[in-house]
Amino acid sequence: MQARLDSIGFRLGTASCLLLLACITALFFHRALLHPGMTLSSLDIVRANSEYKFAQWRGFSEWGRFPLWDPAVFSGKSIVGDSLTALLNPPQWLFWIIPSTALFGYLMWFYATVGAWGMFLFAKRKGCDAHGALLAAVIFTLGGKMAGHLYAGHVEVLSTMLCLPWIMLAAEGVLGKPSFSRAALLGAALALVSTCGSVQFMYWHFLFVGAYALLWLLEGAFRTGGRGMVRPALAFAGGMASFLVFAAPWWFPVVRQTLLLAARARGADYAFSSSVSPDYADLFHLVWPFRGIVAPVALEPGMTQDILFWEKTLYFGVVPLALLLPACLWPRKNRSTALILVILMAVTFTLGLGNHGPLFWLATKVIPGFGLFRCPGRLFLYTAFPAALLVGLFLSGGGASAGKWRVLAVAGALLAAVVAGALLLPQGGGRPTAHVWLPAIMLALFVLATGLWIRGILPERLWKSALVLLVCCDLFVIWQDHFLVVATEKIAPKGQVVQYLEDKQQREEFRMLAPDVIDQTRAAKYGLEILNGYHPGVSGRFLDLYQKIWKSDTSDSTTLMNHPLSDVACPIILDLLNVVYVAGAAARPLRPGEPGVQLPDGEGPQVRIFRRPSALPRVCMVPGADVPPAGVPLLDALCSMDPRAGCLVEDRPFHGGDAFRFLPYDRGSSSDLTLDFNSEKGGVVVISQAWHPDWRATDHGKPVELRRVNYDFVGVCVGPGNHELRVWYRPWDFYLGCAVAAAAWTALAGGGAWSLWKRRRPAVA
């Protein structure tokens, strides 16, 4: 009976702590939660994540179809082959129904709460008391680096990272009590987290959790002489491998299509993978995240401060920093766990230094795939995980017999105070400019509270509560300077320019070149299609085409650079891309008789809109297909061809004879069109749409070959006669993955139901 009462009391205490954590995260996100007409004004939310959501919403609202293809940027791209769209993430399905960027604030609060709950439960499992687990949850979830990535708008980074404790809980379960069901739950947890959208962090999750399991097994083997370690190792390996079936709709199309199409698949060198590496001077961010820059709330486009500060900082509170040193040197409980955490913290911290550390180069050479991702400072997020747990364990190991560690705690506080004092010395541009006294104030309060506790004036429970409160106050100030909100209509304002082009879109399909005028978020929201934009996985062939358009271009696999129309070197590619309109900020009013229209763009400057009469239609018939002359690269041949006289292919030329003409078509969705036409001599149907290996074509219901023409466009060779041609995008890898995952999730649910039924079934005498 007493055990049952203790269990109920434990559950009530845990539930109270989880509710408290939800309230703490809600306080941090209060500006978004209390203002539903406002949205997070973060860099990537404004220029990338919103576009993904609007494109998916339009797939439902306009066509009533599951969103598979995004026509808004470049010349179209796959949605299911792009992890950043988070297409399969259940919380983000709300965007399909409610096309409001205000949901980003609620989404991030949800993940912050889920992350805090997971960290609390994992810390409790590892031996933390309630205060220690609360402190670990707050440090990990609401640290300054998390806030920095929130300012950057890295929705996929934060949501994937904040779910790490749940993966660790599943891994701990399968290692502690290996079984088939626990291994399946580990794979299921990994699969659910993968839908959040970050391939980079899922890859690092595998490495981090794998390293933790390896250290756990080595410690167990050392303690027991190797007995009993084989079963946990096999169960853990099976759980990690089961991810392949549970997450098949996510990883299969993403990996396959990335390897086939993405510019990054051509190989990333060490300069790319180590880009934006933190410098040794950035280690001062451990004490103060705003060293050398103004607070982010004051940052504006065009300022000279390092706007990539979120990639280089590691700030989880000055009080936890003071406690971390004695936590590493003098652990009071679970010393084997503390040793594992110290090793993980040291390795991730050293790797996070990138090319300024001794391990990153070795990792890129030894670990397959490690060099495909840039910004090594993001590994500091993994440093914060064991650091938070170490501090939580240390706080949980207090008591009257802990006299030695009290001295170390004070020594750690003094050490942190010395570092903070060094920051206050004159350092020119490196001097902090916002909340400069906050670390010193927090340290002073920490030393005061600790001194009162050591003297017996302050009870231990109140002292621990005071430390949790101090950390919350410290991080709250940091968080709020990273938390920017604006009215939702400011993210994608319509304006007269968009209205003008939207009206044109009702009568014809076209793409446009609109540098610094229409971003991809507005394009996706209002059904426009732009040529340039931002995307970390741009197609390699499209990048080649884009670079060929301009006289000089430094675009990479992440961003396509803006260019004025005067910089065009190969206008034929713009013709092939169906770029009908060009929009740009006007330096002067139009002269009488000068082509183009001039419209105000809301609160911005006047915008000129020019029409390009040479642009090819979205679908047309050309006489045939030829190969480039011997020794002439296909891209070079494009710039000297007549796109109305034929198209270029890499092999197997085709000659029909029909004259160039526009072909009318009907759309079933953004990736499904049907043409009904007659051809006298045959020719090539050229569609100004990005080629993809999963495009399919049928003529009168019979499959026909779909060719890649003009380097990266869709073409179908047809003979004389009447044709009923259908061309559509069918991602077979996604459908196959859905079938495999459906079977796996059904088996998991069935097994869980069977297990519950057996437990509840009364025993037969």
Secondary element (H or E) of residue 509: none
Q: What is the pLDDT of residues 9-28, one digit of tens each?
A: 455 589 999 999 999 999 99
Q: Sorting pLDDT into bands at 50, 70 and 90, what band is 594?
A: low
- The CA distances from residue 106 to 20, 89, 113, 155, 575, in Å, are 18, 15, 10, 12, 43
* Strand ranges across the sheet with 647-648: 647-648, 624-626, 654-655
Question: What local confidence, expressed as pLDDT, does residue 103 receive?
Answer: 93
Reported as a pLDDT band with limits 50, 70 and 90, residue 160 is very high
Per residue in 321-334, pLDDT (tens digit) is: 888 888 887 776 67
CA distance 126 to 1: 26
| pLDDT value of residue 10 | 53
What confidence score (pLDDT) does residue 762 get?
58
Convert 382-392 to b/e letters by CB count within 10 Å (16 or more is b). bbbbbbbbbbb
Q: How far apart are CA 338 and CA 350, in angstroms?
A: 18
Least confident of 240-244, 315-319, 397-401, 757-761: 397-401
Q: pLDDT confidence of 755, banded at 50, 70, 90?
A: confident
With a CB cutoff of 8 Å and minimum separation 6, the contacts of 718 are 656, 679, 682, 683, 684, 685, 699, 704, 725
Checking if the pLDDT of 543 tops 80, the result is yes
Tens digit of each residue's pLDDT (9 = 90 or more) over 716-739: 999 999 999 999 999 999 999 999
Query: Between residues 604 and 682, which one has the greater pLDDT?
Result: 682
Quick one: average pLDDT of 296-310? 55
Q: Which H/E stretch holds residue 668?
A: strand 666-669
Q: What is the pLDDT of residue 399?
A: 46
Residue 752 or 550, more confident: 550
Q: E strands along 422-535, which residues?
A: 485-487, 511-513
Question: Mean pLDDT throughout 173-182?
Answer: 93
* pLDDT confidence of residue 455: 79
Decide if pLDDT at 210 tops 60: yes
pLDDT of 765 reads 42
Strands 69-70 vs 38-40: parallel, antiparallel or unpaired: unpaired
- Which amino acid is present at 123? A
Q: What is the pLDDT of residue 519?
A: 85
**Pair of tokens at residue 682:** 């045959």
Backbone angles phi, psi at 131, to 5 degrees: -65, -45
Q: What is the mean pLDDT of residues 541-561?
A: 88
271: region left, alpha or beta (phi > 0 left; psi from -120 to 50 alpha): alpha
Range with lowest mean pLDDT among 367-376, 433-442, 527-536, 626-635: 433-442
b/e per residue 625-647 (b: at least 16 CB within 10 A): bbebeeeeeebebbeebebeebb
pLDDT of residue 359: 93
Distance of CA 506 to CAs 510, 526, 668, 689, Å? 10, 11, 16, 19
Helices 380-396 and 164-176 cross at an angle (nearest 10°) of 60
DSSP bridge partners of 676:
724
**How far is residue 736's CA from residue 253's CA, in Å, rounded to a whole number?**
9
Calpha distance 699→167 (Å, rounded)? 49
| Cβ proximity of 297 and 481 under 8 Å | yes
Using the predicted structure, report yes or no on whether residue 635 has a pLDDT greater than 70.
Answer: yes
Helix or strand holding residue 68 (H, E): none
Q: Which pLDDT value is given to residue 486? A: 86
How large a percentage of the chain has pLDDT more than 70? Answer: 88
**Contact criterion met (CB below 8 Å) for 430 and 278:** no
Helix 335-352 crosses helix 199-224 at what angle (to 10 degrees)? Answer: 140
Whether residue 619 contacts residue 652, with contact meaning beta carbons closer than 8 Å, is answered with no
pLDDT (0 to 100) of residue 559: 77
Q: Which pLDDT value is given to residue 246? A: 96
Q: What is the mean pLDDT of residues 35-43?
A: 86
DSSP summary character for residue 559 = B
**Tens digit of each residue's pLDDT (9 = 90 or more) over 684-728:** 999 999 999 999 999 999 999 999 999 999 999 999 999 999 999
The SS3 assignment for 650 reads: coil
For residues 247 and 190, the answer to whether their CB atoms sit within 8 Å is: yes
Least confident of 90-104, 114-128, 279-293, 601-615: 279-293
Burial class (CB in 10 A: 0-12, 13-18, 19+), 233: middle
Q: Which residues on adjacent β-strands are paired with residue 696?
A: 728
Mean confidence (pLDDT) of the chain: 86
Which whole number is the average pLDDT over 584-592?
A: 71
Which residues have a Cβ under 8 Å from the Cβ of 156 and sit 6 or more positions away?
49, 83, 84, 86, 196, 197, 198, 201
Q: Average pLDDT for residues 464-491, to the nearest whole number? A: 88
Residue 268: is its pLDDT beyond 80?
no
pLDDT of residue 626: 94
Angle at the Cα of 296 from the Cα atoms of 294 and 302, rounded to 5 degrees: 80
**Residue 309 banded pLDDT, cuts 50, 70, 90:** confident
d(CA 77, CA 55) in angstroms, rounded, equals 11
Residue 236 backbone dihedrals phi, psi, to 5 degrees? -65, -45
Give me the amino acid identity at 719.
G
CA contacts within 13 A on the Cβ side of 14:
16
What average pLDDT does range 394-410 have in this prediction? 63
Q: Which pair of structure tokens corresponds to residue 372?
A: 């495909």
What are the residues whose beta carbons fall under 8 Å from the beta carbon of 282, sequence distance 6 or more?
291, 312, 313, 377
Closest CA to 428 of 303, 308, 281: 281
